[in-house]
């Protein structure tokens, strides 16, 4: 499962009286975009796969499709050079350096960090990690795995599918390093002085919608608000490095990796063929 | 405590103390709708937590709680802000573009200002006032499907509590978290024949989620299944083709029962007082070759009355025994409490694909009345006193035989509507004919099972669409409005307490007519085909219409 949260970068949330919010960045590993990779992608790939790699009528969502994320760099380079069934053309004009730059940029779009999904292996005990996730860690108060847990933070069922253990550990202990502005919490104040806070679910220049802890959406015209204060940091607690010991962190990481790699692969996105008559 | 601990506590207190008091209508004014007794209160706006009492509401007001708006299937909104007098001011408020490469057939469901729609296997939650996306559950479409399932059609969701239920193209039932779109569970419910698929919205009854399948021209064995809404465990399954030795099995020699179809590809209706579920079944398979399925072919092209707790059959009524023209009976069976020939009755009314409108006693399935609504109808001489058609014995062969109504039916899955205030039943019809050919073929998984083909016949035969208003008091048409446009829409009708009907017309427009006269009052050029049925909802004192067109959902309201 992927929802739009999953696409939306870091998770600065607030307004939650919880002990622990385990929040993972899901967007590019680095805020530094590789200019050459981005330029090549934009000119050659985006026409079918979209500028963000999330697909279009002409090509699949290579930034989010698990089977693409799970491919090795070598396989991706091969597809780029040789093309693939289903209409993916070959790009033999790219030299090796250029091709590697494109793959590196795609990895950023995928949010894949470190050595990739088949890089470092977890050393912890996934069973113990599960108990931490749903217990001491308090992670499940905001995150869901296989239908169990909270809803304010991204579903982590398949999170570990495309990330290696070292990267997951970094996301737990350093949540603020990968903040993205696309998704954040806010507190609004009405002109009568009332305040409400929640996670920003959608907004534009005129309106803002917050979701509060009880799941309710709150709809506001900005013209009715005296102030909108965004929280420009992750509410993911920053003290996991000390709150959980090394063994517990390894166990938690192992649980996320094992669950992710066991997650049911989604059907690959392809195109509708016809309008049925029934 | 995290470094934001103090702040977190402060925010939490703010939420707890202020959330209820905050003007949830902060974005809209307090001007309520007329006679708007069931408007969303400020404490409910934005909260999705559907209770049984919500599902049992007898009036569809601000919320459009299920595919048809309520359990009766009448697709009637009790909102009355938009009227014949002001409809000329109706205007588009927003468009939501799904980026779905196909044509949407969804009816939106709205709960307290949150709209849920589907497109293929994707589900979306929208701010119903602006159309802005709140969440998106993304799931790729399935490969290797057959016929309608390969079109990846999806007609929408059901909601119970804070959970959203939908079917997928490959017949999985998904339970999603209504607040996030997260997947809670996923049940594959038709796995022993890959020609199964699903295109309908589910129906919630009590704590059960009811689902059927597509594949009704592709040699599946039809069934209706009930799943526990909490756990996803299957509770019962009713097979619409009897197994060997069961009542009706004489039509299905050998293992033909496994391929007889009677698919349950649209959702039914429910009478809580009778504790009865009403569900239509599709045509038999192979569609056009009746020689391999002698007899009536139960329970194809029928209306089933079932106990929703057990799945046991209470009664059935077969509209088109031994059908050879693809005449499904999945058109919405609308539950009507009204006088029939002077006496109050519990009725079920349906306009059937076979070209007749039927009125049955829904307490026992007894046939009461029928009315032919397709002028060119030639497959039957009429309906006898027991409700059985008097066949003209038009048998498709390898040369072909011309039959009316057409392959697409005198009407089809798109919604009818019943207005209790005028006691009038509205529906779309298509007067057209098809040349049916038949050739005996074996069933083959991965292939359709029409055996063999259908096409437009030679000659200048009619192909005319109508919107019909049938008065259940006079048992006659109040009006029939011939549709003008370049292509026939597969678009349902709805009616409102404002005295209006609304539908997608044959000119790719969303049209609103005077319900009493059929006079066209207003239309908006969508520029895209409508293959969906409209609905209406309210937020903050404003009534909206919404309809899917092309790959968009568009909402309309007064300024």
pLDDT in tens, B461-477: 779 999 999 999 999 99
Mean pLDDT value of segment B129-153: 92
> Is A15's pLDDT higher than 60?
no
> Does residue A241 lie in a domain region?
yes
Contact B133, A202 (CB under 8 A): yes
Instruction: Give the neighbor-by-neighbor strand order of the sheet with B500-504.
Output: B76-77, B493-496, B500-504, B509-514, B520-525
Contact of B85 with chain A, judged by CB distance below 8 Å, is answered with no
The single residue listed with the structure tokens 């007749």 is B356
Which comes out higher in pLDDT, residue A50 or A91? A91
Residues whose CB is less than 8 angstroms from the CB of residue B120 and which lie 6 or more positions away in sequence, other chains included: A272, B100, B102, B141, B152, B153, B154, B169
Q: Provide, as residue numbers in chain B, all residues whose Cβ is less than 8 Å from the Cβ of A1.
A: 137-139, 181-183
Contact of B102 with chain A, judged by CB distance below 8 Å, is answered with yes
Judge if A42 and A145 occupy the same domain: no
- How far does B147 lie from chain A, in Å, by closest CA? 7
Judge if A13 and A143 occupy the same domain: yes
At A111 the pLDDT is: 67
Mean pLDDT value of segment A87-98: 88
Looking at the structure of chain A, the number of domains it has is 3
Residues whose CB is less than 8 angstroms from the CB of residue A120 and which lie 6 or more positions away in sequence, other chains included: A114, A164, A165, A166
Contact of B188 with chain A, judged by CB distance below 8 Å, is answered with no
Which comes out higher in pLDDT, residue B308 or A7? B308
> Is A136's pLDDT higher than 80?
yes
> Is A172's pLDDT higher than 70?
yes
Judge if A166 and A245 occupy the same domain: yes
Summarize pLDDT for B396-431 with one digit per residue, the tens: 999 999 999 999 999 999 999 999 999 999 999 999
What is the share, in percent, of chain A residues with pLDDT greater than 70? 75
At B101 the pLDDT is: 73
Least Cα distance to B507 among B518, B520, B519 occurs for B520
> Is B480's pLDDT higher than 50?
yes
Q: Provide, as residue numbers in chain A, all residues whose Cβ is less than 8 Å from the Cβ of B45.
A: 219
Domain span holding position A212: 185-231
Residue B35: Cβ within 10 Å count: 12
Judge if A174 and A246 occupy the same domain: yes
At A50 the pLDDT is: 82
Q: DSSP letters of B69-120? A: SSTT---EE---SS-TTTGGG-EEEEEEE---SS------EEETTEEEEEET
Q: Provide, as residue numbers in chain A, all residues whose Cβ is less than 8 Å from the Cβ of B46.
A: 216-219
At B100 the pLDDT is: 80
Record the tokens describing residue B453, joined without a space. 């083909």
Interface of B with A in 353-412 (CB under 8 A): 407-408, 412
Residues whose CB is less than 8 angstroms from the CB of residue B85 and which lie 6 or more positions away in sequence, other chains included: none
Q: What is the mean pLDDT of chain B?
A: 92
At B53 the pLDDT is: 97
> Is B320's pLDDT higher than 60?
yes
> Is B13's pLDDT higher than 90?
no
Q: Provide, as residue numbers in chain B, all residues whose Cβ is less than 8 Å from the Cβ of A239.
A: 2-3
At B467 the pLDDT is: 98
Contact B372, B356 (CB under 8 A): yes
Summarize pLDDT for A205-243 with one digit per residue, the tens: 999 999 999 999 999 999 999 999 998 877 788 889 999
> Does residue A61 lie in a domain region?
yes
Q: Which residue of B has its CA nearest to A214?
A: B47
Cα B375 to Cα B251, B355, B464, distances in angstroms: 31, 9, 10
Q: What is the mean pLDDT of chain A?
A: 78
Mean pLDDT value of segment B293-322: 98
Percent composition of chain B: helix, strand, coil (DSSP 3-state, to 5): 5, 40, 55
Record the tokens describing residue A249, joined without a space. 């962190």
Asked if A190 and B1 come within 8 Å (Cβ–Cβ), the reply is no
> Does residue A194 lie in a domain region?
yes
Judge if A83 and A199 occupy the same domain: no
Of the ranges A107-121, A154-168, B294-308, the best mean pLDDT one: B294-308
Domain-terminating residue out of A110, A130, A157: A110
At B26 the pLDDT is: 55
> Is A203's pLDDT higher than 90?
yes
Asked if B150 and A213 come within 8 Å (Cβ–Cβ), the reply is no
Interface of A with B in 21-40 (CB under 8 A): 21
When mean pLDDT is compared across A86-95, A247-256, B42-51, B484-493, the lowest value belongs to A86-95
Judge if A76 and A213 occupy the same domain: no
> Is B91's pLDDT higher than 50?
yes
> Is B31's pLDDT higher than 50?
no
**pLDDT band at A74; cut points 50, 70, 90:** confident
Record the tokens describing residue A139, joined without a space. 């992670």
Please give the DSSP secondary-structure letter assigned to residue B394: -
Interface of B with A in 442-471 (CB under 8 A): none
Judge if A104 and A221 occupy the same domain: no
At B522 the pLDDT is: 98
Interface A-B: count of C-beta contacts within 8 A:
207
Q: What are the φ/ψ torsions at residue A37 (nearest 5 degrees)? A: -60, -45
ipTM of the prediction:
0.88
Asked if B183 and A14 come within 8 Å (Cβ–Cβ), the reply is no
Helix (H, G, I), strand (E, B) or coil at A139: helix
Contact B495, B515 (CB under 8 A): yes
Contact of B274 with chain A, judged by CB distance below 8 Å, is answered with no
At A147 the pLDDT is: 96
Summarize pLDDT for B222-249 with one digit per residue, the tens: 999 999 999 999 999 999 999 999 999 9
Q: What CATH number is associated with residue A75?
A: 1.10.760.10
Judge if A124 and A167 occupy the same domain: yes
> Does residue A272 lie in a domain region?
no
In whole angstroms, what is the distance from residue B423 CA to residue B39 CA?
Answer: 25
At A31 the pLDDT is: 39
What is the share, in percent, of chain A residues with pLDDT greater than 90? 35
At A25 the pLDDT is: 34
Mean pLDDT value of segment A169-184: 76
Judge if A104 and A171 occupy the same domain: no
> Is B58's pLDDT higher than 90?
yes
Q: Which residue of B has its CA nearest to A208?
A: B27
Judge if A65 and A202 occupy the same domain: no
Domain-terminating residue out of A110, A143, A161: A110
Q: Which residue of A has its CA nearest to B407?
A: A277
Asked if B407 and A277 come within 8 Å (Cβ–Cβ), the reply is yes
Asked if A238 and B139 come within 8 Å (Cβ–Cβ), the reply is no
At B7 the pLDDT is: 31
Catalogue the active-site residues of B. 326
Judge if A202 and A218 occupy the same domain: yes
At B43 the pLDDT is: 73
Q: Provide, as residue numbers in chain A, all residues whose Cβ is less than 8 Å from the Cβ of B132.
A: 202, 204, 207, 209
Helix (H, G, I), strand (E, B) or coil at B209: strand
Judge if A66 and A121 occupy the same domain: no
- Most A CBs within 10 Å: which of B6, B10, B25, B26, as the mutation test of the A interface? B26
Contact of B154 with chain A, judged by CB distance below 8 Å, is answered with no
Helix (H, G, I), strand (E, B) or coil at B150: helix
Contact of B14 with chain A, judged by CB distance below 8 Å, is answered with yes
């Amino acid at each position: 499962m992927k929802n739009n949260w999953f696409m939306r970068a870091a998770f600065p949330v607030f307004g939650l009286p919880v002990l622990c919010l385990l929040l993972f960045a899901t967007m590019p590993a680095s805020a530094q975009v590789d200019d050459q990779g981005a330029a090549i992608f934009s000119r050659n790939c985006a026409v079918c796969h979209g500028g963000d790699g999330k697909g279009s009528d002409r090509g699949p969502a290579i930034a989010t499709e698990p089977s693409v994320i799970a491919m090795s760099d070598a396989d991706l380079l091969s597809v780029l050079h040789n093309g693939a069934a289903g209409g993916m053309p070959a790009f033999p004009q790219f030299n090796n350096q250029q091709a590697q730059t494109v793959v590196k940029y795609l990895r950023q779009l995928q949010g894949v960090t470190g050595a990739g999904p088949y890089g470092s292996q977890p050393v912890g005990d996934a069973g113990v990690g599960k108990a931490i996730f749903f217990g001491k860690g308090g992670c499940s108060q905001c995150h869901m795995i296989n239908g169990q847990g909270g809803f304010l933070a991204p579903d982590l069922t398949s999170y570990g599918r495309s990330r290696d253990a070292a990267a997951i550990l970094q996301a737990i202990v350093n949540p603020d390093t990968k903040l993205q502005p696309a998704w954040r919490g806010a507190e609004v104040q009405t002109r009568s002085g009332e305040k409400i806070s929640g996670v920003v679910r959608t907004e534009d220049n005129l309106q803002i919608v917050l979701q509060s802890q009880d799941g309710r959406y709150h709809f506001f015209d900005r013209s009715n608000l005296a102030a909108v204060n965004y929280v420009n940091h992750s509410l993911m607690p920053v003290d996991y490095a000390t709150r959980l010991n090394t063994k517990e962190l390894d166990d938690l990481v192992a649980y996320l990796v094992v669950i992710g790699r066991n997650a049911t692969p989604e059907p690959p996105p392809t195109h509708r063929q016809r309008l049925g008559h029934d | 405590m995290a470094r934001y601990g103090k702040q977190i506590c402060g925010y939490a207190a703010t939420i707890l103390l202020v959330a209820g008091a905050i003007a949830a209508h902060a974005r809209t004014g307090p001007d309520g709708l007329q006679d708007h007794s069931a408007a969303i209160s400020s404490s409910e706006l934005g909260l999705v937590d559907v209770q049984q009492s919500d599902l049992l509401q007898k009036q569809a007001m601000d919320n459009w709680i299920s595919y048809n708006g309520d359990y009766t299937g009448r697709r009637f909104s009790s909102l009355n802000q938009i009227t014949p007098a002001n409809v000329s001011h109706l205007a588009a408020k927003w468009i939501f573009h799904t980026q779905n490469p196909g044509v949407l057939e969804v009816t939106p469901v709205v709960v307290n200002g949150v709209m849920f729609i589907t497109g293929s296997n994707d589900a979306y939650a929208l701010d119903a006032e602006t159309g802005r996306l709140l969440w998106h559950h993304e799931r790729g479409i399935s490969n290797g499907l057959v016929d309608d399932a390969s079109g990846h059609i999806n007609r929408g969701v059901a909601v119970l509590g804070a959970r959203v239920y939908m079917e997928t193209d490959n017949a999985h039932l998904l339970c999603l978290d209504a607040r996030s779109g997260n997947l809670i569970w996923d049940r594959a419910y038709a796995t022993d024949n890959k020609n199964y698929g699903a295109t309908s919205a589910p129906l919630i009854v009590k704590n059960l989620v009811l689902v059927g399948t597509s594949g009704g021209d592709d040699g599946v064995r039809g069934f209706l299944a009930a799943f526990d809404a909490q756990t996803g465990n299957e509770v019962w399954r009713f097979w619409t083709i009897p197994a060997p030795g069961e009542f009706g099995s004489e039509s299905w020699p050998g293992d033909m029962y496994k391929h007889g179809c009677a698919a349950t590809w649209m959702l039914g209706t429910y009478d809580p007082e009778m504790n009865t579920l009403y569900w239509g079944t599709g045509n038999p398979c192979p569609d056009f070759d009746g020689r391999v399925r002698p007899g009536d072919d139960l329970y194809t092209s029928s209306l089933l009355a079932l106990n929703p707790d057990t799945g046991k059959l209470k009664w059935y009524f077969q509209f088109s025994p031994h059908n050879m023209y693809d005449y499904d009976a999945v058109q919405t069976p609308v539950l009507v409490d009204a006088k029939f020939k002077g006496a109050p009755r519990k009725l079920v009314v349906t306009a059937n694909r076979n070209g007749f409108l039927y009125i049955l006693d829904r307490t026992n399935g007894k046939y009461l009345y029928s009315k032919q609504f397709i002028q060119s109808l030639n497959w039957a001489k009429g309906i006898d006193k027991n409700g059985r058609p008097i066949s003209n014995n038009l048998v498709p062969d390898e040369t072909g035989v011309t039959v009316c109504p057409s392959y697409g039916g005198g009407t089809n899955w798109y919604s009818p509507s019943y207005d209790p205030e005028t006691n009038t039943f509205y529906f779309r019809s298509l007067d057209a004919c098809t040349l049916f050919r038949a050739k005996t073929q074996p069933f083959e998984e991965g292939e359709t099972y029409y055996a063999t083909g259908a096409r437009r016949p030679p000659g200048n035969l009619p192909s005319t669409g109508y919107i019909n208003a049938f008065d259940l008091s006079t048992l006659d048409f109040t009006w029939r409005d011939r549709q003008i446009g370049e292509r026939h829409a597969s678009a349902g009708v709805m009616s409102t307490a404002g005295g209006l009907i609304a539908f997608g017309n044959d000119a790719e427009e969303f049209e609103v007519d005077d319900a009493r006269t059929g006079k066209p009052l207003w239309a908006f050029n969508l520029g895209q085909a409508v293959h969906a049925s409209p609905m209406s909802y309210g937020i903050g004192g404003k009534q909206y219409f919404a309809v899917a067109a092309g790959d968009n959902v568009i909402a309309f309201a007064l300024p």
